[in-house]
Amino acid sequence: GIADGMLYVALVLLGMMARNRKLIIIAAIVSSLLNLLGYFFSPPGGELVNVIANRILAFITIWMTAILCLLKNKADETLQAARNFLETSVEDRTAKLQEVNQRLNSEADSSKLVKAIAIASNEARAVNDTLYFCIERVCKFAGWPLGHLYLAAEKPASGLIPTEIWHVGDPGKFDVFQKITGDSPMQAGIGLPGRVLASGKPEWIIDVTKDLNFPRARLAENIGVRAGFAFPILIGREVVGVMEFFSTKAAEPDKEMLAIMAQVGTLLGRVLERKRALDQSEISQEQLRNL
């Protein structure tokens, strides 16, 4: 009954099970009050000294239990905090390792791309074959489905002329855009290829459908492409061509990719430089034969 103060420890233990510091203290106070009231209201029994001793023992048991519960809860909180810290540290470490692995894989893929194009550029294959090969490899590297080549017009300051050199990852899907591009020569500063022609550097458009300087987007209701980047093919500082690539989704600029594309453009410049020298040699030989 109420005289048995030892039962009040259960209230304190309930507070511990709830993992609530305030509840443990409140339970200890309530148990102490009930223990004290039990002294005054319980039926008399036993010697007074024993009754008082039992009540004191009950008080001590209640508060020792409360203190132990508080210490256990504190230890549990510290342990949980340590676990949370360890889990967070492991997650952060794992994320960093994944980031490093992705960077290493990306660098390895970049090296393979540049090496493959360098080899192709030095092989004695047809120029168009090399350009097709390059566009296909860049599309695969970027994970973008569409690539196209513009070449500089023969007359100075005449801009860029679209070619028939394409890589299309999904045949038929981009027919509208391909048709528009085939009818769209570009002047310096106009559109994505024109920007590259003007700057001599790689350029990126997050979403061509929202870009005011992408005239091809205004020539059809749906051109089927969103993000685009392009890079120059250089002979020295002269832009002799521009390769452009497109995704079906908007995408933020990738500076590392653009840096790699600048290297690719330089390698392809050697291909077109050799072609230019060969064409000039053939013209010279023809002129000599006509003398």
Quick check: is 149 in a domain? yes
Quick check: is 109 in a domain? no
Q: Are residues 18 and 160 in the same domain?
A: no
Quick check: is 133 in a domain? yes
CATH code for the domain of 284: 3.30.450.40
Q: Using alpha carbons only, give the angle 175, 179, 184 rounded to the nearest 5 degrees.
A: 145
High-pLDDT (> 70) share of the chain, %: 81
The two three-digit tokens of residue 79, written as one number: 């342990």
Q: Is the confidence at residue 1, as pLDDT, over 50?
A: no
Q: Is the confidence at residue 30, as pLDDT, over 80?
A: no
DSSP 210: G
Quick check: is 277 in a domain? yes
State the Cα–Cα distance between residues 62 and 64, nearest whole angstrom.
Answer: 6
Quick check: is 227 in a domain? yes
pLDDT in tens, 113-159: 889 898 888 875 788 999 999 999 999 999 999 999 999 998 867 89
Q: Are residues 146 and 29 in the same domain?
A: no
Q: Are residues 19 and 137 in the same domain?
A: no
**Mean pLDDT score of the chain, rounded to an integer?**
84
Number of folded domains that form the chain:
2
The pLDDT score that the predictor gives to residue 184 is: 96
Q: Are residues 139 and 50 in the same domain?
A: no
Quick check: is 93 in a domain? no
Q: Is the confidence at residue 50, as pLDDT, over 90?
A: no
Provide the whole-model pTM.
0.65
Mean pLDDT of 270-282: 82
Instruction: Tell me if residue 258 falls in helix, strand or coil.
Output: helix
Q: Are residues 168 and 222 in the same domain?
A: yes
Q: Is the confidence at residue 169, as pLDDT, over 80?
A: yes
pLDDT in tens, 2-26: 445 445 556 556 565 656 778 777 7
Confidence of residue 70 (pLDDT cuts 50, 70, 90): confident
Contact yes or no for 73/24 (Cβ under 8 A): yes
Q: Is the confidence at residue 95, as pLDDT, over 70?
A: yes
Q: Is the confidence at residue 291, as pLDDT, over 70?
A: no
Last residue within a domain, chosen from 34, 62, 84: 84
Range of the domain at 164: 123-289
Q: Are residues 171 and 77 in the same domain?
A: no
